Structure 1
Amino acid sequence: MSRVTVVSVFYNRAALVEESVRSLQCQTLDDYEILLVDDGSSDDTLNRLRLFEDHRTRVVSGPNQGLVGALNGAIAQARGQYIAIHGSGDVSFPQRLALQAEVLDKRTDVGVVGCRSEIVTMQSSRPPHIDKQAYDGAAHKLILDWNPFHHGEVMFRKALFDQVGGYRPFFVCGQDRDLWCRMSQHCHFLVLGDVLYRKFTKVPGSVAADPHRLMLQRYLSDFALYCHRERLAGRPDPLSCHGEQGALFRPPSRRLAREMCVIGSRCAADGDLETARMFYRRGLQENGYLPARILYFLAAAMPGVLLGAGDAWRKLARVLQKARWSFGSRGV
């Protein structure tokens, strides 16, 4: 039995295989295995993954079943006591596995460990920045307002994963938020202050790069939070109780409306008014959110004003990101 199993699922990311996998094979931890999963890629991903097979690296492949099915299948094969998720194409810095496993070895109250991450936005002039913040403690209420983890940089106990039932297939996006919600009722969470991971966002084919999938992710994440609130209140989990129809019981969410407005404004700042209007309209439909009403009106009737404001906001955001990056780098 290995101490840690790293699971990384790839789908049509042949160009991103080498750096990502090499970062896993160059960890300072001694006792770990790597499971590289090709989820039915149609490009050269599988062949490139096979180039890295060795005594600790296994490649498994099969028909495309989506991220959740591939993750559940791989974790079922894992020999490790702890499971480390690694986003395909991302980079784990050399001490990531060792430091996270050390926490789980020493702290029986902690079930999930993350770290701070360096965020790189592809196909963009935005500078890299450091995201997340250190945290140590109970998270069953915190998770309602803040997600302490990116999915790719997390390590958790396999026994805890099995105890809560793994990833639920209904959450084709937002599967991690649902998992963290259920795990938070059984353990504490810890986010290391060290920057141990480099995450690439808006990779072609990813959720963040597809407005429709991004919207679906936000809806499913909000439903996961609704299920969590119901469990905390001592009521049945809507998904467990009613199946997929449980999503029909989700109440209007001001939080979701606000997120739709934020994403829409990012789209407007990039000059994509059509997509911005789509997100503003969803925010308006969610609960009549006043800012969504105003932004939707501007996008439809006065696009020049919205584009001008968006351009100013984009420049300000770049300045703030650069400042955060400089500050974070001094702390590394």
Structure 2
Amino acid sequence: MTPQSTIVIPTYNREATISRAIDSVLEQTVDDYEIVIVDDGSEDSTQEEIEEYNDNRIRYIEHEENRGQNVARNTGLRAAKGTYISYLDSDDVLLPQHLEKVVTKLGELSNEYAGVVTGYEDVIGREETPQPGYDGRITYENLIRDMYDKIGGLSLLTFRADILDDIGLHDEDVVNSTDLDFYLQMLEEYDLYGIDEVLCRRFKQTDSVSMDAELVAKGEKTILSKHGNKLTPENRAKRRYNRGIALAELGEMREASKAFRGCIQDYPYGILYYYHFAISLLGEKIFRQLAIYPYIRDWHPQNIGL
């Protein structure tokens, strides 16, 4: 029998959190679903944690080596049997009414909508912070304008499986900002609908992809190459800024300076772009002492209390 929903959980070295993610699905107020877990070459006890579950709704797929988030997601999509597909990162959790509410809303929407995006809260240590979300229609223009001000990661997304015939799978060359890339890919063909209610908790981990400076630098370069001409100048400058900060963290000060110069060219009204361009010319040590991080919410250590 075809399940109504498939929850795709890509994971890599998440022995400490994978059970929490799975439990949050098993605690849903509806039970017509399957869970497809794609283990992207974990080297810890992630597999052993999953094998503790005796539930025929759980399917486990293993990559022999680590191949990246989008490869793991595509493996999950190819295996999914549900009418609707939800994502859940293996360090996040769904609140109990998540599936019930998103499936109900999807049943009310016309086919011009690809899916729904829920509200969420960020969890850092013991602090839970609700984030502002969309309420109602989300268009391509909304996302280009608002970027991450009102939309979060893919753990918030549930969409109709049949749209994949139109939009395709994830771009496996994208290694960071994979969520933004997929949202833009989807919104080029369809609209989304925002449910402005906290139905997911996103836990910040010190080893997440969004906190890996090398992947941030590479990922922002890919996003700018693919979507830069579509972004507003202000948002394009912010992404260059993210790349500049990541490059500086890697000690690549010449490339960091180029990125900050690009920020100024895109959006010459940002005082901090001039500031960081100037201090990037003074070398890595001074830059680390003087840099300010207003846009880097996810990956920079100082934003998670390290």
The aligned runs of 1:63-82 (5 Å cut-off) are 63=64, 64-82=66-84
Question: 1:195 maps to which residue?
Answer: 198
Question: 1:94 maps to which residue?
Answer: 96
Question: 1:46 maps to which residue?
Answer: 47
Question: 1:282 maps to which residue?
Answer: 259
Name the aligned partner's letter for residue 279 of structure 2: L
Shift in CA distance, 224/82, structure 1 to aligned 2, threshold 3 Å: farther
* SS, match of residue 141 in structure 1: helix
Question: 1:255 maps to which residue?
Answer: 235
Gaps of 5+ in 1: 230-250, 315-320, 322-332
- Identity over aligned pairs, percent: 22
Q: Distance in 2 between matches of 1:308 and 1:59?
A: 47
Q: Deviations over 1:122-179 (max 9, x none)?
A: 6xx9x43212312322512222222434212210111112321111222232333232
Q: Distance in 1 between matches of 2:78 and 2:192?
A: 23
Q: Distance in 1 between matches of 2:85 and 2:294?
A: 43
Question: 1:118 maps to which residue?
Answer: 121
Q: Deviations over 1:245-280 (max 9, x none)?
A: xxxxxx996633334446867999xxx796899755
The aligned runs of 1:170-181 (5 Å cut-off) are 170-181=173-184
Name the aligned partner's letter for residue 20 of structure 1: A
Offset of residue 33 of structure 1: 0.8
Name the aligned partner's letter for residue 131 of structure 2: D
Q: Distance in 2 between matches of 1:306 and 1:62?
A: 38
1:8 aligns with 2:9: yes
* SS, match of residue 145 in structure 1: helix
| C-alpha contact (below 8 Å) 2:29/2:97 kept by paired residues | yes
| C-alpha contact (below 8 Å) 2:240/2:262 kept by paired residues | no
1:37 aligns with 2:38: yes
Structure with the higher helix share, 1 or 2: 1
Name the aligned partner's letter for residue 18 of structure 2: V
Q: Distance in 2 between matches of 1:128 and 1:190?
A: 24
| C-alpha contact (below 8 Å) 2:10/2:37 kept by paired residues | yes
| C-alpha contact (below 8 Å) 2:71/2:172 kept by paired residues | yes
Shift in CA distance, 81/260, structure 1 to aligned 2, threshold 3 Å: same
* SS, match of residue 128 in structure 1: strand
Match of 1:293 among 262, 271, 274: 274
Q: Distance in 1 between matches of 2:104 and 2:144?
A: 28
Computed over aligned residues only, the root mean square deviation of the Cα atoms, in angstroms, reads: 3.5
Question: 1:233 maps to which residue?
Answer: none
| C-alpha contact (below 8 Å) 1:27/1:97 kept by paired residues | yes
Name the aligned partner's letter for residue 296 of structure 1: F
When the two structures are superposed, what TM-score results if normalisation uses the length of structure 1? Answer: 0.74
Name the aligned partner's letter for residue 129 of structure 1: T
Name the aligned partner's letter for residue 209 of structure 2: V
Match of 2:161 among 154, 158, 161: 158
| C-alpha contact (below 8 Å) 1:181/1:224 kept by paired residues | no
When the two structures are superposed, what TM-score results if normalisation uses the length of structure 2? Answer: 0.79
Q: Distance in 2 between matches of 1:308 and 1:40?
A: 39
Gaps of 5+ in 2: 297-302
| C-alpha contact (below 8 Å) 1:263/1:276 kept by paired residues | no
Q: Distance in 2 between matches of 1:37 and 1:112?
A: 22
Query: How many residues end up aligned between the 2 structures?
Result: 286
Shift in CA distance, 281/94, structure 1 to aligned 2, threshold 3 Å: same
| C-alpha contact (below 8 Å) 1:138/1:187 kept by paired residues | no
Name the aligned partner's letter for residue 54 of structure 1: D
Shift in CA distance, 121/279, structure 1 to aligned 2, threshold 3 Å: farther
Q: Distance in 1 between matches of 2:193 and 2:292?
A: 36
| C-alpha contact (below 8 Å) 1:266/1:310 kept by paired residues | no
Q: Distance in 2 between matches of 1:171 and 1:111?
A: 21
